[in-house]
Amino acid sequence: MSQAQDVTLTESPLGGPLPTGTGVTLGDGTAKQYRSLWSNAWRQFRMHRLAVAGLVVIVFITVACFVGTMIYPRGIDDIDFLMTSASPSSTYPFGTDALGQDILARILWGGRISLSVGFLSALVAISVGTLVGASAGFFGGATDGFLMRLTDLFICLPQLPLLLLISFLYREKVYRWADAQFGDGNIGIFLLIILVIAVLNWMSTARLVRAEFLRLKEKEFVEAARSIGARQTTLMFKHILPNVLSQIIVAATLSVGAAIITESTLSFLGLGFPSDVPTWGRMLFEAQSYFQFYPYQALFPGMVIFLTVLSINYIGDGLRDALDPRKTR
Amino acid sequence: MGRYLIRRVIISMITLVCISMVVFFILAAAPGDPLSGFGSNPNVPAELRQRLREQMGIDDPVPVRYARWATQYVQGNWGISYTTRSDARDYVLGRLPITLKVVGGAYLISLLIALPVGIISAVKQYSLFDQVATTFAFLGFSLPTFFTGILFILIFSVKLHWFPFIYDDTVKGFWPNLKQMIMPMMVLALASTGSLTRFVRASMLEVVGQDYVRTARAKGLRERSVLILHAARNALIPVVTIIAIEAPAVVGGAVVTEQIFRIPGIGSALVQGVNEGDVPVVMAISFGYAILVVIFNIIADILYATLDPRIKFS
C-alpha cells in the first residue's frame, strides 16, 4: 500500500476536506475540527523538529543571500590589498581571500547562484521526469516502451564524465552566444549548467511517477471519471497527478540538494562558472591551493554548502513523513 | 534464465551503442579542433598539418568518424592520447589499479559499517543508537566529497600530521601505501555509507514485522538467530542489488577525491583529459564508465533473481 491510495480515501465525496485523525470524535458523532490535507501535513511537518530547523536555516540562508547582498556594505569585487588572506575579524566577519576580497560578501552573492541553480535545475528535472513518467504510465504500450527505453539509456549514461565534458566543450560557445544575446555571458553559463544538471537527473522521478500512474489508472475513481467523459489530459493531470504529488514534492526537495552538490562539484573541478562568478564551489576551488595556510577560505564556503544540503535533506525527510497519511499521529 | 540473460545482454549492447553515439556526437559537435594547438604552431608546415588531418580523418563526416572509432574500439585500438602521445588504452588501463584499490577499499569499509549499523538501527527503531546512526547518515550524504576531503586534510594532515595528503605513487611497501590511501578511502566511504545504512535499515524494517519472523520467535528460537538467519537474510536481498547498482557511482565519486589527493587514477585522468581536450582518453574513460554501469546492472538483476526464488525471469 502506498500513500496515494490513502489520499484518495480521505477525499470526501462532496469534495470538501474530510476530518482526519484526532479532529473527529467518533463516539458522539460530532466532528470538532476539520483539517485539509495540507494543513494536516503542515501540522505533521512541525512535529519533525530537525525538518523545521532545516526550514529555518534554508529560509535564513536564502534571505541572507537575496536580501543581505543589498544591505551588506562590501561588494564581491572590492579589493583590499592591505588585507589579503585575512582571518575573520569585525571588519571582515569571514576573513578575506588571496586578493583581499571579502569572503562573506562573496558567499552571499555566490549563494544566489548556487541556490538558483539548485532550485531551477530541480524544477526542470522534476517537470521532465513527471511528464515522461506520466505519459509512459498513462498511455502504456508503445509510448511506455519507448519512453522507458529512453529512461534506461539516460540512467546508463556516464553522468559525471558527461557533465564535465559538456560544460568544458560548450562553455565558451554558450558564453559568447549569451554575451551577444543578453549582454552578459554568465547568463549563458547559468542556463547551460541548469540544463545539463536537469537533463542528467530526471530519470528517477520518471520511474517513480510511471509506477504510480500504472497503479492508479486502474483505480475506481479514475474509472468513474472516465465514465463521465473526462478527457485524457483531465484524467492525467486532474485526477491521477494530485495523488502522486506528495511523492513528487519529496523527490523534488531531495533533488535540490543533489543539484547544489553537483553544481559545486563542477565548479570545484574548475569546470563550472568562470572566476568572476563566486559560487560556493568556485570559492572552494580557489581556496584549494592555500587552504593549509588559510583554512577559513575553504571552511566557510564548504560549511555553507554542507548546511544548505543538510537542511534540504532534513526538510525532505520531514515532508516524506508529513505527506504520508499512514504516518498520521 | 538463459533466454532472459541473452535478451538482457542484447538490450545492453544496444544501450551501449547508443551511449557511445551520444558521447561521440557531443565530442564531435563541440567547437574547437584537436589539432588547434598544433595547428597554430608556426613551425609546423601547412603541408604536414594537412597530411596529419587527412591521416587522422578529422575532416570526414561525423558518421564516418564514428564508424571508424567504433570498429577500432572493438578491436582494442583506443587511439593515441593527444597529450601523453602514448596509447590511450595503455594509459587508461595503467591508471585503473590505483582507482580500483581506493574505490574497492572504500566500498568495503562502507559495507562493513552500513550492514551492522543498518540492521541494529532497524531492530532498535527510535532508540538512541538509531537516532545517532540516522544523524550520521544524514551528515554523510549531505557532506560533499570535496569538502570532507579538505576537512580531513586540515585535521589529519595539517594539524595532527597523521597521514600525508599528497599521494606519492613511488612509495614502496604495504604500510606507507595504506597510510596514504586511508584518507581518500575514508572520504569516499563517508559519502556512500550514509545512504547505504538508510537502505539497509528500511529494508530490514520491512522484514521484521513479517509473519514468518513472528513464527520464528514463536518457535522459541533465540533472538540472534531470528534476526540474522530469518530476518536479515531476506532483508539483504534488495540490499545486494543496490550494492551492485551503486558500485559505478562510487567510481564516479572517485573523480573528486582523486583530484583533491592528487591520486594518479582514472578520475584525475578524466579531469585532465577534459581540460586538455584529449578526446581519445576522455572517450575511453566515459565509455568505460558506461560499460561498468551496464555490467553492474546486469549483475544486480541476476543476483536479485538467484537470491529471491519468488522472482522469475520473464
Q: What are A111-131's pLDDT values in tens digits? A: 999 999 999 999 999 999 999
In angstroms, the separation between the Cα of residue A29 and the nearest Cα of chain B is 34
> How many CA atoms, within 13 angstroms, populate the side-chain half-sphere of residue A290?
14
Contact B150 A291 (CB under 8 A): yes
pLDDT at A326: 64
CB of B270 within 8 Å of a chain A CB? The answer is: yes
In angstroms, the separation between the Cα of residue B252 and the nearest Cα of chain A is 6
Residues 26-55 of B with CB under 8 A from A: 26-27, 30-32
Residue with cell 500504472: A214
Averaged confidence pLDDT in chain A: 82
In angstroms, the separation between the Cα of residue B222 and the nearest Cα of chain A is 31
Mean pLDDT of A31-52: 79
Residue with cell 499521529: A329
User: Which cell numbers hold the place of B21?
Assistant: 553515439
CB of A253 within 8 Å of a chain B CB? The answer is: no
pLDDT at B181: 84
Tell me the whole-structure pTM to 2 decimals.
Answer: 0.84
Tell me the chain B residues in contact with residue A329 when contact means C-beta distances shorter than 8 Å: none
Q: What H or E segment, with its residue span, contains residue A224?
A: helix A220-227
Task: Find the range with the poorest average confidence among A28-32, A68-72, A245-249, B173-177.
Answer: A28-32
Closest to A157 (Cβ–Cβ): which among B19, B141, B275?
A: B19
pLDDT at B309: 75
Contact A292 B146 (CB under 8 A): no
Q: Is residue B17 classed exposed, middle or buried when 0-12, 13-18 and 19+ CB atoms within 10 A define those classes?
A: exposed
Closest to B158 (Cβ–Cβ): which among A165, A172, A292?
A: A292
Contacts of B115 (CB under 8 A, 6+ apart): B200, B236, B239
The tens digit of pLDDT for each residue in A239-290 reads 999 989 888 999 999 899 999 999 999 998 888 888 788 889 888 888 887 7
Q: What is the predicted ipTM?
A: 0.84
CB of A313 within 8 Å of a chain B CB? The answer is: yes
pLDDT at B119: 92
* 3-state DSSP assignment of residue A300: helix
Contact B26 A305 (CB under 8 A): no
Mutation target vs A (from B18, B125, B142, B293; most A CBs, 10 A cutoff): B142
Q: What's the CATH number for A38-327?
A: 1.10.3720.10
Contact B102, B267 (CB under 8 A): no
The tens digit of pLDDT for each residue in A136-147 reads 999 989 999 999
Domain residue spans of chain A: 1-35, 38-327
Class of domain B92-307: mainly alpha
| Confidence check: pLDDT of A6 > 60 | no
User: Which cell numbers hold the place of B146?
Assistant: 570535496
Mutation target vs B (from A268, A285, A320; most B CBs, 10 A cutoff): A268
Q: Name the band, by pLDDT with cuts 50, 70 and 90, for residue A161.
A: confident
Q: Name the band, by pLDDT with cuts 50, 70 and 90, for residue A27.
A: very low
Contact B138 A313 (CB under 8 A): yes
Contact B237, B308 (CB under 8 A): yes
d(Cα B254, Cα B106) in Å, to the nearest integer? 10
Contact A212, A247 (CB under 8 A): yes
Domain residue spans of chain B: 2-74, 92-307
Q: Name the band, by pLDDT with cuts 50, 70 and 90, for residue A307.
A: very high
Ranges of chain B whose pLDDT falls below 70: 1, 30-44, 55-58, 311-314
Task: Find the range with the poorest average confidence among A20-24, A297-301, B48-52, B162-166.
Answer: A20-24
Tell me the chain B residues in contact with residue A156 when contact means C-beta distances shorter than 8 Å: 15-16, 19, 290, 293-294, 297
User: Which cell numbers hold the place of A31?
Assistant: 466532528
pLDDT at B200: 92
| Confidence check: pLDDT of A195 > 50 | yes
Nearest CA in chain A to B255: A160
Q: Name the band, by pLDDT with cuts 50, 70 and 90, for residue A56.
A: very high
CB of A298 within 8 Å of a chain B CB? The answer is: yes
Contact A102, A94 (CB under 8 A): yes
pLDDT at B31: 64
Tell me the chain A residues in contact with residue B252 when contact means C-beta distances shorter than 8 Å: 158-161
| Confidence check: pLDDT of A7 > 70 | no
Mutation target vs B (from A153, A156, A282; most B CBs, 10 A cutoff): A156
Contact A269 B255 (CB under 8 A): yes
